[in-house]
A = this chain, B = another copy of it.
Amino acid sequence: NTGDDFEHFGLHISPDADTLLYTLADMNNTELGWGRRDETWNVAEAGRQVGLDTWFRLGDKDLAVHLYRSQRLGQGVSLTQVCRELCSRFNVDTHIVPMSDDAVRTQVESDIGVLSFQEYFVKNKCKPKVSAIHFKGIEVAAPSPAFLDSLEDEQLRAIIICPSNPFLSIDPILSLPTLRERIKKCGKPVIVVSPLVQGQSIKGPTVKIMRELDLLCDVRTIAELYQDIATAIVIDRQDEAATDDVAAMGLAVHSAAIVMNTLQDKIDLARTLINISQTL
């Protein structure tokens, strides 16, 4: 998802791609929950004296990545290529592919005005009441070629929609022109992992936003969001009572422990998802 991307101090920042990069490189800052491990804050410290905006905290090591990305983009290289180069520099074998090389910017309509994603999420800590979410530039954005290639790759076995925020993190991707059609056309199982457990968000403002958008906060509503493309949905064991209701929508329903606190939890859920994909 590059709807979270933004330009700050003239730099191009890609928070989602960076989080993946740092996590897969085992360099993520587990204390903060974002940014890089063993981070230092010398620039931010000096920035305070100069009067630099401090609501988006930039660590020194993190900043080096933003400088690199900004330089490469300025040289005309695509965001996809920059991601590839960063993965290579950090010895990450997994392909991190941005949804698009074109600028898409998530904008949150709220009770305090229209906010960029970072203004909503970081600066205002998700407190404003959301009335609508737009993805500026989406109409003319093309899915990145590497993204399309992966959808058409014969080795592709399944598409997993992780328990991310459906409105802020998944919808920007699915709203790319032709994307939903291409996912359907590729014919591979699409497995959705519910971001809700017992009507509560696993993480972040999902439920808060659902309430503000007058949606029921249950797995059935989640299933509806993805109904046109999903093959299966994985709900938490605690939500098993909803199985028949969701299955009636034409989806395969599986239950598992979907709250991931430890690395082992993540490995277990990943294995479960692979196993499920083989049954579809």
Chain A residues with CB under 8 Å of chain B are 7-12, 40, 42-47, 49-53, 60-61, 63-65, 67-68, 70-71, 73-74, 85-86, 89
Contacts and interface: CB of A to CB of B under 8 A. Distances in A.
B10 A50 contact: no
A40 to B, nearest CB: 5
How many copies the complex holds: the figure is 2
A234 B216 CA distance: 82
A9 B67 CA distance: 5
Contacts of A47: 64, 67-68
Nearest to A11: B10
A49 B10 contact: no
A134 B45 CA distance: 39
B12 A10 contact: yes
A234 to B, nearest CB: 36
Given A51-B68, A51-B85, 14 more contacts: A9-B67, A10-B11, A10-B67, A10-B70, A10-B73, A11-B67, A11-B70, A42-B42, A43-B61, A46-B65, A49-B89, A50-B67, A50-B86, A60-B60
Contacts of A9: 11, 67-68, 70-71, 74
24 contacts: A8-B71, A9-B11, A9-B70, A10-B10, A10-B12, A10-B73, A10-B74, A40-B42, A42-B42, A43-B60, A43-B64, A43-B67, A44-B64, A45-B64, A46-B65, A47-B68, A50-B65, A50-B89, A51-B68, A51-B85, A52-B64, A52-B68, A52-B71, A60-B60
